[in-house]
Amino acid sequence: MKMLYIVEDRFPPFRVDVVELFARQMTMRGHKIDWLMQRGADAFNLSSPANWLDNSVYLTPRIGNKGLFGRILNNLLGMWGDFMILPLALKGQYDIIQVRDKFFASLIAWIAARLTGARFVYWMSYPFAESKLHQARNRLVPHHRLVWLKGQIIRGLLYKIILPLADHVFVQSERMKEDVAQQGISFDKMTPVPMGIRVDQVGRAEDAIALNTHAPLLLHLGIIMQLRQSEMLVRVLHRVRLRYPNAQLMYVGDGQLPSDRQAIEKEASRLGLSTAVTVTGFLPMEQAWELVRKADICFSPFYPIPVLLSTSPTKLVEYMAMAKCIVANEHPEQCQVMEASGVGRCIPWDEQAFAEEVCYLLDEPERARQMAAKGPDWVREYRTYDVIADIVEYQYQKLLGQTD
């Protein structure tokens, strides 16, 4: 199979499913993938096409200016760069032209696919339209009117034009498949692809550590967002410290916007917990995971709003792979994974429920360790990218009529 893959990520990309599933797994299986993506901050001086993990990457223009003007101009440059799809498709003789989370590019990709006989596939990793509309209505972002308008445009393009035209649609979860089907898209042309991890990054049952009940370290891995009510965990820590007064909370990550991190710091200051709460900022993956390994209990909170119910929790799988004790709230895929694996139970979205679950694990440290020890084997069987690649590869073969 030969594919042209157009992604929203700037080069070089960091999303694990982009890098591991396609740049590594698919190419290891003999498939050739050419990429089209916008230059990142480290790629302004690279020639195009660039070589990346034995893949050819065609780079579209971008400027380094920040602020509203810079974002608008880079969006326009991104749209201009999307016109490269047509000459690449005409020259490349691709079997699949696939677009991930880009909307104007999808229209050009569909035309290119029809002109060349390729299949047009859309990869939907997140409900961006719904997210933008939610953020705009609740004024969680600057320039909320522009964000609302963008959300409405994306929604119309996606559900009325792009997905109906697509030959196949990959979605993030079973819940997203159900949500998209409610917009009139056929179940039969959608395949859920959950988040996973590389097989060599999965630990062993023996990695489950004895909990430090004197000064437990509670940890949240990943991006901080007011949309996700990330500051709620500070209030959970406040309740936990009534019973375990030396407990600490670490956020390994940072906010999308300065206001996201400020919400954490403001809540910690309000509760007198500034010295007990740490925000590391964005770290290289291995460095971040090293902090996770030192943690006693890891949080996987999903604020229960519709836009987040269809996600596939990456951090949950990473915690499980490292045999960590986990506190996670009710969420469709999260509950299914925790129940199937036996690593824990889902609790309601409630500060007291979170605090009680933390204390339950700390009160029963051996039981907690035994549950955590079940994580690596389950992940190895169901959520490594070589397993996930089997699912994706089969769908491409089916789409191209290559199955028996």
For residue 180, give the CATH number of its domain. Answer: 3.40.50.2000
Give the chain's domain count: 2
The DSSP H or E segment spanning 38 is strand 32-39
Whether residue 347 is found in the same domain as residue 321: yes
Whether residue 136 is found in the same domain as residue 211: no
Whether residue 178 is found in the same domain as residue 286: no
CA atoms within 13 A on the CB side of 349: 15
Tell me if 13 is assigned to some domain: yes
Whether residue 67 is found in the same domain as residue 188: yes
Tell me if 359 is assigned to some domain: yes
Whether residue 79 is found in the same domain as residue 18: yes
User: Domain range for residue 391?
Assistant: 2-196+384-399
Question: What pLDDT was estimated at residue 384?
Answer: 97
Whether residue 225 is found in the same domain as residue 321: yes
Write the DSSP symbol of residue 189. G
Tell me if 164 is assigned to some domain: yes
Whether residue 81 is found in the same domain as residue 227: no
Whether residue 341 is found in the same domain as residue 361: yes
Whether residue 219 is found in the same domain as residue 289: yes
Tell me if 22 is assigned to some domain: yes
Question: What pLDDT was estimated at residue 329?
Answer: 96
Tell me if 237 is assigned to some domain: yes
Tell me if 404 is assigned to some domain: no
What phi and psi values does residue 322 have, to the nearest 5 degrees? Answer: -100, 10
Whether residue 102 is found in the same domain as residue 217: no
Tell me if 207 is assigned to some domain: yes
pLDDT < 70 regions, the chain: 404
Whether residue 170 is found in the same domain as residue 302: no
Helix axes 104-116, 144-157, angle to 10 degrees: 20
* CA gap 357, 373 in Å, rounded: 18
pTM: 0.88
Question: What pLDDT was estimated at residue 404?
Answer: 64
